[in-house]
């Protein structure tokens, strides 16, 4: 049975998932699950411990709050969210996320966030593995060059030095790795709807997805 209190937004990196998920959560007053940030937080813990058992323990001690429909991570009352956004942690998290131990350690935490209040889950396997019963599943895509430009601007605004050519190559390599991995490969759920954001503004993407969500809730 489908759960219309859950919307999943999956897709490759820099396709606009985060912006869309945050906008949806704000518009519908739903809880936001930023799974990418969770994997970065886990990577942050793993870098400290170098083993999954200890990393799971450290992760459980982090405090994760929703502030203005955006997920924030605290370590000993220090907001480390901006640290987790650094590109080096993103690369480490991408590698760790391909491991079964990592995904097993996080899946229960993610599912526990679901409630009658409503949840928007942003990631790569939200609709296929974590929330297969979600009522609305979106698979958001965009051209690699468009995604690289978005990531470039994001990192530039965060004062992180970056090269556009390197970004395009990193995105293509990450796409290949995400699609090829054995555990939870990047792929659309059979019942997901693909939306290409390459030539759309964030507002246009939001309006399209809200229309899809409202159509799905009418069907119940």
3 state SS for the chain:
CCEEEEEEEECCCCCCHHHHHHHHHHHHCCEEEEHHHHHHHHHHHHHHHCCHHHHHHHHHHCEEEEECCEEEEEECCEECHHHHCCHHHHHHHHHHCCCHHHHHHHHHHHHHCCCCCCEEEEECCHHHHHCCCEEEEEEEECCHHHHHHHHHHHHHHCCCCCCHHHHHHHHHHHHHHHHHCCCCCCCCCCCCEEEECCCCCHHHHHHHHHHHHHHHHHCC
Domains of the chain: 3-197 (3.40.50.300)
Weakest-pLDDT range from 100-104, 144-148, 152-156, 190-194: 152-156
**Tokens matching residue 217:** 């809730």
Q: Has residue 220 got a pLDDT over 60?
A: no
Per-residue model confidence (pLDDT) at position 201:
94
Q: Nearest Cα to 185, choosing from 124, 143, 127, 144?
A: 124
pLDDT in tens, 31-86: 999 999 999 999 999 999 989 999 999 999 999 988 888 899 999 999 999 999 88
Tokens 């060059």 belong to which residue? 145
Q: What is the pLDDT of residue 169?
A: 87
Residue 146's pLDDT is 92
Mean pLDDT for 105-134 is 92
Q: Taking Cα atoms as reference points, which of 45, 32, 148 lies closest to residue 87?
A: 148
What is the average pLDDT score of the chain? 90
Q: Taking the CB of residue 57, how many other CB atoms lie within 10 A of it? A: 13
Q: Determine the pLDDT at residue 10.
A: 96
């Amino acid at each position: 049975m489908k759960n219309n209190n859950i919307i999943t937004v999956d897709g490759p990196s820099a396709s606009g998932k985060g912006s869309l998920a945050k906008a949806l959560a704000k518009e519908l007053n739903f809880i936001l699950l930023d799974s990418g940030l969770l994997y970065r937080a886990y990577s942050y813990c793993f870098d400290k411990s170098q083993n999954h058992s200890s990393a799971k323990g450290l992760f459980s001690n982090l405090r994760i709050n929703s502030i203005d429909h955006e997920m924030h991570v605290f370590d000993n009352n220090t907001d480390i969210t901006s640290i987790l956004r650094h590109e080096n942690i993103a690369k480490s998290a991408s590698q760790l996320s391909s491991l079964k131990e990592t995904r097993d350690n996080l899946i229960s935490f993610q599912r526990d966030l679901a409630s009658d209040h409503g949840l928007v889950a942003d990631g790569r396997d939200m609709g296929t593995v974590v929330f297969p019963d979600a009522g609305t599943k979106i698979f958001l895509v965009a051209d690699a060059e468009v995604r690289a430009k978005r990531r470039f601007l994001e990192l530039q605004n965060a004062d992180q030095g970056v090269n556009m050519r390197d970004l395009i190559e990193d995105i293509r390599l990450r796409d290949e790795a995400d699609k090829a991995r054995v555990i939870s490969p990047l792929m659309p759920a059979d019942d997901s709807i693909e939306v290409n954001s390459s030539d759309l503004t964030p507002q246009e993407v939001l309006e399209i997805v809200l229309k899809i969500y409202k159509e799905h809730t009418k069907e119940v």
